[in-house]
Amino acid sequence: MAKKSLSIKTAFDMACDRYSGLGVDVAHALKSLEGVSISLHCWQGDDVGGFESLSGGLGGGLVATGNYPGKARTPDELRADLQKACTLIPGHHRLNLHAFYGEFENRKVDRDQIEPRHFARWMDWAKAQGLGLDFNPTCFSHPNAADGFTLAHEDKGIREFWIEHCRRSREIGAAMGKALGKTCVTNVWIPDGMKDTPADRVGPRQRLADSLDAVFKKTLPARHNLDAVEPKLFGIGSESFVVGSHEFYLGYALSRGKLLTLDAGHYHPTEGIADKISSVLQFMPEILLHVSRGVRWDSDHVVVLNDDLHSIAREIAANGFLKRVHIGLDYFDASINRVAAWTVGARNMLRAMLIALLEPPLICSAEAAGDFTTRLALQEEAKSLPWGAIWDYYCETKGVPVGNRWLADIQSYEKEVLSKR
């Protein structure tokens, strides 16, 4: 006769005993986890395509590889897919929209003409779903970005086009924040850079600083919209020079009171962002994270539960930065089921946060006492603590599938919905 498996609650109770023996308050950790809100990036759902009639393919050095069937072709399809993902991810989260996902009713509405009304259905839907919204100007996949320059372009007319786009994007972000009663973070990332060694690194950076100042000239209520700027080390087609480099945007964000965005894929391949969190938060109140996974380059693979993710979550949890760090996902894998890609990445981010929130306080006290042997020993022992039982219980109490059961939901959604596209 097959042995009856332990119930989720029994396993949870046993895990709680184990944790309380180490001074960990599991109930408190779960309460904190409930407050963790992840911004799901809409662009995983359609391989960064957007819904403009004028869009002529992905640009700006962004590459989505794979041709898995069933990608969202319309805003309604994208919303349906996101809604499915949300039934599989415990907690209350957000949606991160790019400007070219507006609903333009088959009309050509160029980027310098977008308005909040083009996002009215997204706002209504988000409200009905209880989701917050975040926003991004889309400074790529457009004829005015075809030569790889936008806000730093040497042509004044092109710069002004993108300035107007970014200004309007902030207004849309503020409209979203106001409509939902949840602050929107509007993140500016631009692709500007050069494939080969530039002769002039100064001119483009001066132009970018000036353009950004024009974009941010109007003060918007911080309770509706927060501005973030996203640096990068290199990109495809901008291998030798990125105008908006790390030092550029660190200086810009600090001097202008903006949030800095740390994208896990935007550094040297072995450089992580975890250590940067406590550094930049010494000098600015809040930051935005783009949690991603580079494989050999800024390849934007689906986020997995690896050491990088553990360290990011640990730095947020251990230092009480949950209110100061906005967490967003940023990857796009077109070779697997896209709803699964969201689900895997978001559940992993939450699992990493849970593990971090369950860290035994003895680790910090050992360090404070100068006992680095105990610190190391406990850090390693903590890796095999039964957090899985706590996670399963959390999923069950939040009404989402436990363990890999969510995969069956995705498979039937693929059969019934995605495969018919």
Measure the CA–CA gap between 413 and 302, rounded to whole angstroms. 20
Crossing angle of helices 338-357/26-34, nearest 10°?
140
Taking CB within 5 to 8 Å according to partner kind, which of ligand RNT, Zn ion, none is near residue 359? Answer: none
* Residue 232 in contact with ligand RNT, rule: CB under 6 A: yes
Q: Which residue is nearest to Zn ion (CB)?
A: 290
Q: Give, as ranges, the residues between 246 and 275 that touch Zn ion (CB under 5 A).
A: 263
Q: Give the DSSP letter of residue 302.
A: P
Whether 330 is catalytic is yes
Contact region with Zn ion (CB under 5 A), list: 49-57, 245-253, 330-338, 344-352: 330-338
* Residue 241 in contact with ligand RNT, rule: CB under 6 A: no
Helices (H), 257-337: 274-280, 307-318
Residue 243, CB half-sphere, CA atoms under 13 Å: how many?
Answer: 26
* Residue 230 in contact with ligand RNT, rule: CB under 6 A: yes
* Residue 111 in contact with ligand RNT, rule: CB under 6 A: no
* Residue 263 in contact with ligand RNT, rule: CB under 6 A: yes
Name every residue whose Cβ is closer than 8 Å to that of residue 366 and which is 6 or more positions away in sequence: 372, 374, 375, 378
Choose, from 93, 224, 232, 258, the residue flagged as catalytic: 232
Choose, from 230, 333, 392, 414, the residue flagged as catalytic: 230
Contact 111, 161 (CB under 8 A): yes
Nearer to Zn ion, 286 or 330 (CB): 330
CB of 232 to ligand RNT, least distance (A): 5
Residues contacting ligand RNT: total by CB under 6 A: 10
What are the residues facing 361 on neighbouring strands? none
* Residue 96 in contact with ligand RNT, rule: CB under 6 A: no
Taking CB within 5 to 8 Å according to partner kind, which of Zn ion, ligand RNT, none is near residue 48? Answer: ligand RNT
* Per-residue H/E/C for 368-381: HCCCHHHHHHHHHH
Question: Which two three-digit tokens encode residue 128?
Answer: 């009905």
Contact region with Zn ion (CB under 5 A), list: 158-166, 289-297, 302-310, 334-342: 289-297
* Residue 298 in contact with Zn ion, rule: CB under 5 A: no
* Residue 290 in contact with Zn ion, rule: CB under 5 A: yes
CB of 300 to Zn ion, least distance (A): 8
Beta-strand pair 184-188/94-98: unpaired
Name every residue whose Cβ is closer than 8 Å to that of residue 385 and which is 6 or more positions away in sequence: 15, 18, 19, 22, 358, 360
Q: Please identify which residue in 94, 168, 170, 290 interacts with ligand RNT, judged by CB under 6 A.
A: 290
CB of 136 to ligand RNT, least distance (A): 5
Whether 396 is catalytic is no
* Residue 136 in contact with ligand RNT, rule: CB under 6 A: yes
CB of 416 to ligand RNT, least distance (A): 29
Measure the CA–CA gap between 116 and 259, rounded to whole angstroms. 23
The SS3 of residue 133 is: strand
Query: Among 346, 410, 398, which residue's Cα sits nearest to residue 39?
Result: 346
Contact 185, 259 (CB under 8 A): yes
Measure the CA–CA gap between 209 and 227, rounded to whole angstroms. 15
Q: Give the interface with Zn ion as residue ranges (CB under 5 A).
A: 263, 290, 330
Residues carrying an active site annotation: 189, 230, 232, 263, 266, 290, 298, 300, 330
Q: Give the interface with ligand RNT as residue ranges (CB under 6 A).
A: 43, 48, 62, 136, 189, 230, 232, 263, 290, 330
